[in-house]
Structures are given as C-alpha cells and as structure tokens.
Amino acid sequence: MGVADGEGTRPEATSTNQLSGGTVHGGVVQAGVVHGNVTLNYQAGRMDWPRPDQVPLPPRAFVNQVRVRGDLTAQLAGDSGGYPIAALSGLSGIGKTSTACRWAHDHQEQFPDGQVYIDFAALRGGNPGGDVSEALAMCLRSLGVREEYLPAGLAERTMLYRSHSSGRRLLVVLDDVTQPAQVRALVPQGKGSALLVTSARRLDELAVDGVRLFLVDPLDQESAIELLAARCGRARIEAEPEAAAALVELCDGLPIALSIVGARLAVRQRLTLAALAAELADEQSRLKRISVTGSPEERTVAAALELSYRELSEAAGRLYRLLGLLPVLTFDAALAGAASGTPESETLDLLAELESAGMLVVQAEEPWVADGERYRLHGLVRLHARESARTTEAPNIERLVVERAVGYYLVWIARADLAIRADRLRILDLAGLLGTEAREVPEGSGRAAVAWLEAERANVMAVLRAAVAHGFDRQVWQLAEVFTVLFLHHRHLADWRESLELGAGAAGRAAEQAAQTGDSAAAQRAAAAEARLRSLLSRPLLDLGRDEQALIELETAAQRADEAGDLVLAASVQEFTGRYWERHDPERAMAAYRAALALNLRAAEQPGEASVFGTREAARRGAALARYFLGCAERAAGRDQEALVTLREARDELLGIEDTRMAARALAELGRVHADLGDLEAAVMELREAAAELHDQRAGHYEALALEDLAALLTDRSEAADCLRRALAIHEAGGSPRAAELTARLAAEAE
C-alpha cells in the first residue's frame, strides 16, 4: 500500500547503467539489443558490505594512558571467539573518549569490516538516558540497511542488528553511556568483534555480563609534562622544571585543564611557567572560597579557564559566553555568528582565537559545512561559559540566543525542505520567509540537503526543546513543520514523534493567542498548522504501534482543518486517515480516500477560493495520489474491476503531472490486479514495464517488489529465476530481511 499524503517515498541509492574500471562482483551483462532470454548463473555469496569508519580522530597531542590501552588490547584484541566488551570510566575531562579513539585507530586492521561510533550525548540531546532504539537504527544504517527495511520496534531492531553484525568483524564504540541497557543491546555478534564503552560512572552492573571495567586515571607527572611540552614547547618546560611540575599538580593531571594551560602558554610566549602557576593557585583558592557546589575537577578546570578567559579580546569573550548558552552540542561558524549577531567572517577569526586559547575543539571537516569545520565545547568548558554569561550579560540574553538559533535553523531547514520536496503541502509561508531564495534552490541539491539535516538532527531537536521552554510558539510549529522532511526520508521515529508533538502543541497555543488578540489570519494559519502537524504525527505513531493515539490525533486534525477552512489541507488529513483505516476497516479507508480525492478536485478547480495554503499543482498531485491510494485499497478489498479503472486514471494523472515514479508504482499495482483477475499476459507486460520504469527512477525497493511478483507469473523458469536474482541483489544491497527468504527460494528452485 502507498504512503499517505504521498510523503514518505524515500530516496533510492544512486544507480547507473555504466561500468568503468574497478572490481565487479557477480554477473553483469551490458548489451545494446538482446533477442531471446538471457540466463545468468548467479552464485549467492558474501556481499560487498559497507565498511564504516566512524570513530573520531584522537587529539594530536594525545599522550600516555599506556596501562589502560594495554588492558584494552588484552581484553579486546584476543582471538577467543567471543564478543569481548570493555568499559572505560573516570572523571569528566580525564580523557576517556580520547583514549578509546586512540585505541580504536591503533587497531583498525584488527576490524576489517569497520568501526561504528555512537555518541550517546548527542542522542540524549539534553534529555536523560539515551534512545537505544535510535542507536540500533544508526548501527543498522552504518551496516548498509536502507530506511525502508528498518523495523520500528526495539525488539525487531535488536534482532536485525544481531543478524547484520553476525559474520562481520567489527569494533563498536559507545561514547558517554549512562545506562547498562545501552550496552547490552549493542553487542556485535560477529566472531572477532568487540565493544568499547566510555562512561562517566562505573557501570558495575555490567560486570555480571562479562564486561571488563577499567578506570582511566589522571595523567602521571611524566605524561602530563609531555602534554604541556606538546602544547607550549619542550624548551620552556626544561627551562622551568619545578614550575612545570607545579602546574601539573595544580591541574590534577586532567588533560583538559593541562590543554587549556598549555594553550595559554603557547599564546603568551613571555609568560613564565612560574607566574602562571602562581596565578592558577590564586584562582583555585578564590574559586574554592566562593564555590558552594561543583566537583573538585570542575573547580580545577574553571580556574584554568578563568585565567585564559580574562585574556580574550572583548569580542571573543562575548562569543565564548554566548556559545555557552547555545542549546547545541556542535556548531559551525554560521550558527555561532547568528547566535552572537556577528558577521561570519569576523566569527571565524574569533573562533580561531578561542581555539588558540584551548577553549573549544575543532572537529573533523564535514562536506556539508561551508567552511569545512565544526566546533564543540567540552562539557566543563560549556559550564564555565554559561556561568560567565549569566554573571556578565543582560538577564534576557539566553532567550535572545535561543531565538536567533531558531531563526537560523528555520531559514536553512526551509531551504533544505524545498531542495528535497518542492511540491509538499506547507502551512508555513516559505516565500515570505525566504523571499527570492525560495526560487533559487539549486537543482539536484536534495541529497546534500538530507545529509545536512541528518548531521544537524540532534542540534535541531535541542533547539526545538529550548524554543518551547522560552515560549516561541510560532517559530516552534514552523520549525517542526519544515523539519519533518528529514523524517520522511530517515525514520528517526522517536525524534519525529517528539518534534511533531512539540510543534502541534505550540501551534494550538499560537492559535489561541492569536484569537484572543483578534488576529484572525494568524489564528487561521496556526489552526491549519496544528491540523497539519497532528495528521503528520499519525505516521510515527502508527509505525510505533500506537494506533489509538494516532486516531485521536487524526480526529483533532480534522477538527482543526475544518476551522482553517482549507480544502487541500482537509484532503491531506483525509489521506492520512485512510492510511489509519487500512489497518482496521477497508471500507472506511476507501471512504477516506474518496473524500480526499473529492476535496482535491474541488481545490484544483477553484484554487484561489478553496485553498490558502495549497496551490493548484498541489491539489492536482493530491488528487492523483488519492486516486492511486484508493485503487490500492480497492484491490486489497477484492474490488478488482473498480481498482482497474481507478488505477488507470491514477496512472494517467500521475504521468500528466510528470510524477513518473508514482506512475510506475501505479502500473505495478495494475499488473497485480490483472494477476488477481487471471489476465496473466497483461499482468506480465505491466509488471515488466513497471520494473524497468522503477529501475530508471532508482526506486529499488519498489522495483524489487515488482520483480518478485513478475517472477511468480512467468512460465519461463529461467527468466523467473533471473527476476528473483535481481530482486535479491536489491534486497541484499539495502539490508532487507527479505534477502534470506529469496535466497532460500532460489536454492529450493535450483534443486
């Protein structure tokens, strides 16, 4: 069955009909014209799996932790045939992540099938715990499983992960874990694989599972001196060995504190180590006197930071404070500039100053970042920056920073939304938001836009939560609406559900407030937004098995759509409602699709009067899709003759609006109807043509389904087997659980 509202068809892997160089595995035919049948003798074997290489690079100045790294090697590098697990714990800033990353990069050859990295701090996004189900989905994507084959439930994802990690030799690194359940669910099953965990607390509960627990200690004096020398030069250390030893003691062997101190020495070449040690001792004494909370390591780092902070330029100091108020984990120069109200070119210079002072970390270059760099504040550094802002800046500064961050993401995500799906129904006025930029989205930029949205997902969720806390209801619903385009392509169900719940609630409050102030236009738009977001919310709820709640959301959406008085919006809600009833009552599903069709046709005939938010083009496409879904529902209900008429009309309409992908799906469904009616000649012709069209559209999932149905109808078993092999190749490449079933089917038919 199709996807409600036509939203949810996901991008397929890029494929072309070309071979040039490289190594080719499996059977390949390239020909101009072929007469007769072609038979390929296909031998199923190991797939060319993707090899993830996700563990971040360790710091350039990484030193020591020789004992812990040796312990890790003894635990994880053996050939016992089991699934060894090691967990590193220790103080914040002690170097757990750096140690794990250093070990992983030193042992890359031990894991020929790749290294997977999951950052639970990013998954938490300011919330307690961490989404184990989402972590499993991230692992499965890394191992080549496509979005359409990702199950929704935790148990199903766990089983699929076990299956896909079996037979591979992987290292999985879980960073900043807080709960034992996060570890137990992600143990790779392949012989020779290993799991490496970092956590701020000892996970003693895991000892019964055979997990080896290792404590990361502060650096010893020799290693700490080496780290300082790497930062400021060995000559200065050798010139003042006693002062260097004093600095190490004052920093408690914490790598982050030593890095900050070393960066200050590197920037101030005339500052003696003895003078810095005296300043640091004085500052630590001051903090100890005034601090009634905070751990010793927090005071140690704060003292080092305070000295460097005082020497920043006024502009860099202000940027540092405002970065502490940004509700994100990572950021680029554009976001930092937007949050501080500083031009991006000037922001780059200020970020370089902060980097030189050791107050932020530059992360690996990312292709979707304009200047190629992203930045991150260590947790203890963020605390200091935030406290500095609260004692220095105006009382409302945090609200202003959040508002700027929301505005930044709203514009950029709206542009990404247009690049990915220009024809979506939207309540937000994109032309009003973007101006002429709404017509200047580069052609073919959709894939890059999806990659950028995926990279920013944790940040956007954190910004949404902060915006709700500060009462930015209008911006919240707008951001939630445009952000949903990511989830139509990548099924992050928990985040999708939360973002839509936040957006729908905000839209309801915005409508209420606008009505109270007499702003009828704003009230209508907000009511429409609530209808749109609640109908979209039914999608993740259905995928999560929350059918009753999905129906409640759809009923509320229908009420809000009536209040908004927009036919295209009302039709969209009916489409989503049809998807719900497909599971529960086929007759009501068909009624909902007929209602959606009628509403869209009315809107297409009188677009200016019938719809404020949907164009005539949107109404025409909505009508064609509603007709397609109706035809699918009629076939499911056994009304094959009606389905034939409906699907033919749907295909003609879809071709008329140049939606060749959906037109090919309609043709495949026509083939299935003809098969049900016993007209095998028509069925074979339509399914064969549909498979070819879907291949051209790179719609591999639907191509594979058409090939399977075609194989079941063919009398030539050689050609049928070839169809199954082609379908199998698609399913294997995407990580589909159907691959095992087709492999068994081919083996049985070969006997």
141-177 pLDDT tens trace: 999 898 888 888 888 899 999 989 998 999 999 999 9
Does residue 440 or residue 453 have the better pLDDT? Answer: 453
Q: What is the mean pLDDT of the chain?
A: 85
Stretch (H or E) spanning 212 = strand 212-215
pTM above 0.85, yes or no: no
pLDDT at 447 > cutoff 50? yes
As a whole number of angstroms, the distance between CA 327 and CA 96 comes to: 24
Between CA 223 and CA 195 the distance in angstroms is 27
- Identify the DSSP state of 211: P
d(CA 711, CA 684): 9
Q: Where are the domains of the chain?
A: 66-215, 221-310, 314-393, 395-564, 566-638, 659-751
Which amino acid is present at 134? E
Say how far apart CA 270 and CA 255 lie, in whole Å.
23
How far is residue 583's CA from residue 595's CA, in Å, rounded to a whole number? 18
Distance of CA 652 to the CA centre of its chain: 36
pLDDT, tens digit (0-9, with 9 covering 90-100), for 731-743: 888 888 788 888 8
Domain 66-215 has CATH 1.10.760.10: no
Specify the pLDDT at position 207.
82
CB 430 within 8 Å of CB 438: yes
- The predicted pLDDT at position 560 comes to 95
Among residues 698, 740, 706, 746, the alpha carbon closest in space to that of 13 is found at: 698
pLDDT at 17: 34
Answer for the pair 352, 344: CB distance below 8 angstroms, yes or no: no
- In this structure, what token pair is assigned to residue 21? 């160089």
pLDDT value at residue 365: 53
* Listed range (104-118, 440-454, 479-493, 592-606) with the worst mean pLDDT: 440-454
User: How many Å apart are CA 51 and CA 143, to the nearest integer?
Assistant: 7
Q: Angle at the Cα of 501 (from 500 to 502), degrees rounded to 5?
A: 90
Cβ atoms 451, 516 nearer than 8 A: no
Q: What is the pLDDT of residue 36?
A: 39
Per-residue pLDDT band at 43 (split at 50, 70, 90): very low
Mark 536-556 as b/e (b = at least 16 C-beta within 10 Å). bbbbbbbbbebeeebbebbeb
Q: Is the pLDDT of residue 439 over 70?
A: no
212 band by pLDDT with thresholds 50, 70 and 90: confident
Predicted pLDDT of residue 441: 58
Q: What is the pLDDT of residue 579?
A: 94
Instruction: Specify whether the CB–CB gap between 123 and 234 falls below 8 A.
Output: no
Residue-by-residue DSSP string for 100-137: HHHHHHHTGGG-TT-EEEEEHHHHHTTSSS--HHHHHH
Least confident segment among 115-129, 256-270, 284-298, 612-626: 284-298
Would you say residue 179 has pLDDT above 70?
yes
Report pLDDT digits (tens) over 585-610: 999 999 999 999 999 999 988 766 55
User: 58-72, 448-462, 666-680 — which is least confidently predicted?
Assistant: 58-72
Task: Give the closest residue to 403 by CA, choosing from 477, 472, 325.
Answer: 472
Domains 66-215 and 314-393 agree in fold: no
Give residue-wise pLDDT tens across range 68-111: 888 888 888 765 555 689 999 887 778 888 889 999 999 999 99
Token pair for residue 183? 């570890």
| pLDDT value of position 631 | 97
Query: What does the alpha-carbon distance between residue 713 and residue 462 come to, in Å, rounded to a whole number?
Result: 52
Is the pLDDT at 11 greater than 70, yes or no? Answer: no
**What pLDDT, on the 0 to 100 scale, is given for residue 626?**
96
Percent of the chain with pLDDT over 70: 86
Using 50, 70 and 90 to split pLDDT, how confident is the model at 368?
Answer: very low
What are the pLDDT digits (tens) for 397-430? 999 999 999 999 999 999 999 888 877 889 998 8
Q: Give residue 372's pLDDT.
A: 61
Q: Residues 628-656: pLDDT tens digits?
A: 999 999 999 999 999 999 999 999 999 99
The type of residue at 219 is: L
Q: Which CATH number fits domain 314-393: 1.10.1790.20, 1.10.3720.10, 1.10.10.10, 3.40.640.10?
A: 1.10.10.10
Query: CATH homologous superfamily for 659-751?
Result: Tetratricopeptide repeat domain (1.25.40.10)
Residue showing tokens 């406290």? 387
Question: Is residue 224 over pLDDT 60?
Answer: yes
139 has pLDDT over 70: yes
User: In whole angstroms, how large is the CA radius of gyration of the chain?
Assistant: 29
